[in-house]
Structure 1
Amino acid sequence: MSADADTQGLRSRPLRLTVNGRAYGPVEVPDDMMLIDVLHEYLGLTGTRFGCGQGVCRACTVIVDDERGPREVRSCITGAHYFHGKRIRTVEGHARRDDGGRIVELSPVQQAFLDHFSFQCGYCTPGFVNAATVLLERLRQRPVARAQLEDAITEALNPHLCRCTGYVRYYEAVRQLALDTPGLVSDAEPKERGS
């Protein structure tokens, strides 16, 4: 950053983070810049979508992998420096790629969404891919009773907005994937809360 920019009140500091397994930084990033802008403008990762700009639609969702486990964070309202030293995943990090960077296999979530024709315009899809991925990874750690699967999917996907009304197909895809993936759903009776 130039000295002129600093005198105009624009402050920056170095940012280091790992995105999709690749380390970036240190990169000088303005203090008030949101992560989505860093992804788009500094790292060339444009799969994360800027929708409402207020964190409501969740098209901008990325996955943070830390001691709390995988979790969703909205990148349009979260400053880039919050992610300093953290590991995150964007929609570009789910598919398996060859040495030339070409996609050779979609993630199970991405494939399920295609198989169920889950989206129309696709603008919200990166957020839904990340939400479904977090849900399935949590179910891998702590399976849910079959009777509670619908509620788990609803809780995971409901905050995400789809302007093309693809909700039913997103839900169906995640439900089918959860049922088809061994170890995520139990036939045991659900436990009462608090027991």
Structure 2
Amino acid sequence: MLKSEFKTSPSMVEEQSKERPSSALHSSPKICLVDMGQEVQQRLAQKNYATELGSIGSYVNVPKSKPYSEDLITGFISLPPHLHEFDIVVVDLGASGHVEPSDVQANLKGITGSSAYAVRSSYPEQIFNPKPMGVSSLNSELRGMFAKESVGIVFTAQIQEVNYEIVEIGISGATPMREKNIRQRRFILIMLAAKKNMEKRSSW
């Protein structure tokens, strides 16, 4: 499944503990900030709220000037482990940050199996948009969180739809596996459905 193929362990989570104030943190609520930026986290940290950062991916600059040029991209999704244990998740779907290809290009260092997986960005694409795929992974993680009482806050943006080409990197190079079409609107529908389910449970 895409979640297992593209989800990466966020190094930013480890860095946050060094920046938190020495005062005791509130044990709850646990807050996950997805693409909300450091400023929001710092303000909450001043109030001693425990927060962790996540990302559904930034736009990737992938300049290509010749036909058949391509980039193999992976590692653009960064979510805290055990997201279902959080009480609040805040997501900014309109975050517009960009990164360079070197930040997310497929790196085979440390691969122990006979294959790896990536998304192919082909000519004439100049900017790779990972957000709908990131939203798909976030959807899977949030199902467990919404099974309990929790809060989801989403800053929406223009609905985006992207076709992704998933490739397997093996002895024969990058071999196409499948194409996947993902619409960002699906995430908003799942959030609304989760809200309705919580309202039903609270009325019992």
Query: TM-score scaled to structure 1, two decimals?
Result: 0.27
Of structures 1 and 2, the one with the larger relative CO (CA 8 A, separation 6+) is: 2
The answer to which structure has the higher strand fraction is 2
Question: Larger % of helix: which?
Answer: 1
